[in-house]
Structure 1
Amino acid sequence: APAAILPWLKRVTAIATAIVCGLLAWHTFRFVRDERMYSDVEVAGLPVWLWQAILPFGFALMTWRFLFNALFPKLPEPSR
């Protein structure tokens, strides 16, 4: 890609990735919520939904990271 459009291409990519991660965060949240309501399986004495709760949290963090990168991209290194 030409150097002139590269910053915008990176922003579009970051926004698209944030959307995908946001959707994954939402749907894994719903999954964990349903597991909590309907599941009685335990792993190491803890309900399985507790182990799965990291999924929406992780995807939410990735969503914020990519949104932040889209809104505040890294500045180019100054040339010496």
Structure 2
Amino acid sequence: MSEVDSHVCLFPQFCNDCRAYPLPHAGPDERFSEPMVNSVIGVLVGHGYPPVENVWDWADLETALAGFLYHHETKEKR
């Protein structure tokens, strides 16, 4: 049994080894799409944040989402 297999966590919500994100990034992901980014913008606007109407704001949001969701080659994997 490996060290990972033997890991038992009593509080997975606070455990760095039990994190679901970031996901491995093996190439394009059809889930990461313009409609998904629009949905995130809708949630932000629904909570009182200003709409994302500038192309640079859109690009920054998309980059931030990708950084949260996926491991990248330049980042050290957890």
* TM superposition score normalised by structure 2: 0.32
- Higher relative contact order at CA 8 Å, sep ≥6: structure 1 or structure 2? 1
In proportion to residue count, which structure has more strand?
Answer: 1
Q: Which structure shows the higher helix fraction?
A: 1
